[in-house]
Amino acid sequence: MSERLLEVTDLRTTFRTVTGSVPAVGGVSFDLKANETLGIVGESGSGKTVLARTIMGLQPRTNVEVTGSVLLNGHQVVGASERTMRTMWATEVAMVFQDPMTSLNPVMRIGRQIDETLRVRLGMDRRAAHDRALELLTMVGIPSAQSRYRAYPTELSGGMRQRVVIATALACSPKLLIADEPTTGLDVTIQAQILNLLDSLKQQLSMSVILITHDLGVVATRASRIIVMYAGRIVEMGDTRDIFYHHRMPYTRALLESSPKVTNTPHTRLAVIPGRPPNLSTPHPGCPFAPRCAYATERCHVEAPTLVAASAPGHRFACWNPLTETDHPEAR
């Protein structure tokens, strides 16, 4: 159970652009156990998508520098050739992207898109692949899979398309599924359906899931652990309950408090984080959140904090002036 499926150590992804180098992921370390759901939360530009693509080995070789180590089920991803990665994609790790329309080929029937993966990767024959594809479509909850098998992606609704994408990703039973904002852009009721589906598939296929999102609501009840990212770094990580109720990093708190809640009374004044996330191409020596942080001191602007352990096991945060436990009125 505690077997480590994924070990990421000091991972850095740096883009070289005309205007200089951009450290999109700046030294990230974490691990993931088998059959665990890990939530990665951050705003746009926090590096969460770049992190996911780096773990997938999807970064282009030119103008991107990746250092550190990503051990996926014992295989090193950093520096692996595309040929090596091909043997891991689909069977070891698969990804579900935000926009289902761009990850499906619009001129190919959806059944064939799944068939193809099965035949190429698992060497199935036409008959077997067809049957398995139908099985997968049924498994992801597509009604009358037999007739939808011959449909084109454009003929399906957004929710149905995302189900097809999930079916494609699961075709070769990967051990790790990375879902990058899988429900952004879907309606509330459909979002609930897809998240439930991912949950039940995870149990059924005993795989691990990394759920990447900007919405704390998505991971609150689905992830066992959460990583909060800001400006390409992990600023806090820990068990879901610790992140929500015992967070120590002011950014985590600000993120939680600035999102409106259904339980708020109308015209509740929202807590606001002033300013915007930093521009990564101009290097900052200190804590990336310092310019927006209410608790920032002199030290925060000059010296970057590293992750230190909090009282709960596995709970770590990067802050010079962490919130104390008593700062949590909602702590239960």
Partner 1 sequence: MSDERRPLLKVRDLTVTFGKGAHAVSAVAGVSFDIYEGETLGLVGESGCGKSTTGKALMKILTPSSGTVELDGVDITHQRGRALRHARTRMQMIFQDPISSLNPRRRVRGIVAEPLDAWKTVTGEQRDRLVDELLNQVGIDPEVYGDRYARQFSGGQCQRISIARALAMRPQFLICDEVVSALDVSVQAQILNLLEDLKAEYGLTLLFIAHDLAVVKNISDRVAVMYLGRIGEIGPSEVLYEAPAHPYTKFLLGAALEADPESATTGAVLEGEPPSPLDPPSGCRFRSRCPYATERCAIEEPVLTEVAPGHQVACHFPFIAQ
Partner 2 sequence: MSDLLDQSPEIEPLREQRLGPLFWICVGWLSLNVLGAIFANVLPLVNPLYQNYNAINAGPSLHHLFGTDDLGRDILSRVVFGSRVSLAVGSGAMLIGFGIGMPLGMLAAYRRGRLDTILTAVMYVLLAFPAIIAVIAVISFWTPRTLFKIIVVIGLASVPLVYRVIRSATLAVATKDYVTAAKVQGSTDRRILFRELLPNIAPIAVSFLLIGVATVVTLEGALAFLGLSVNPPTPSWGNMINESRTVMAQNPWLVIFPSLALCLFLLCLNFIGDRLRSYFDVTEVKL
Sign of CA dihedral 47, 74, 307, 68: negative
Q: Report how far residue 106's alpha carbon sits from residue 179's, in angstroms, rounded to the nearest whole number.
A: 21
Matching residue, tokens 């957004």: 158
CB 238 within 8 A of CB 314: yes
Residues in contact with partner 2, shown as a per-residue x/- string from 205 to 244 under the rule CB under 8 A: ----------------------------------------
> Residue 274 CB, nearest distance to partner 2 (Å)?
5
Edge-first strand listing for the sheet containing 37-41: 93-96, 176-180, 208-213, 37-41, 225-230, 233-239, 316-317, 308-309
- Looking at the DSSP assignment, which residues form a beta bridge with residue 13? 25, 66
Q: Which is nearer to partner 2, 272 or 308 (CB)?
A: 272
Interface with partner 2 (CB under 8 A), residue from 108, 120, 192, 272 = 272
For residue 291, count other CB atoms closer than 10 A to its CB. Answer: 16
Residues in contact with partner 2, counted by CB under 8 A, come to a total of 9
Q: Which is nearer to partner 1, 263 or 326 (CB)?
A: 263
Q: Which is nearer to partner 1, 271 or 302 (CB)?
A: 271
Q: Which of residues 128-167 bind partner 2 (CB under 8 A)?
A: none
> Residue 259 CB, nearest distance to partner 1 (Å)?
5
Largest CA distance in the chain: 68
CB 38 within 8 A of CB 226: yes
The yes or no reply on residue 155 touching partner 1 (CB under 8 A) is: no
Q: Indicate which of partner 2, partner 1, none lies near residue 99 (CB less than 5 to 8 Å, by partner kind).
A: none
Select from 135-143, 170-178, 276-284, 307-315 the region that touches partner 2 (CB under 8 A).
Answer: 276-284
Interface with partner 1 (CB under 8 A), residue from 33, 121, 241, 284 = 241
E-state strands within 142-192: 176-180
The yes or no reply on residue 308 touching partner 2 (CB under 8 A) is: no
Query: Which spans of this chain sit near partner 2 (rule: CB under 8 A)?
Result: 18-19, 272, 274-276, 279, 282, 291
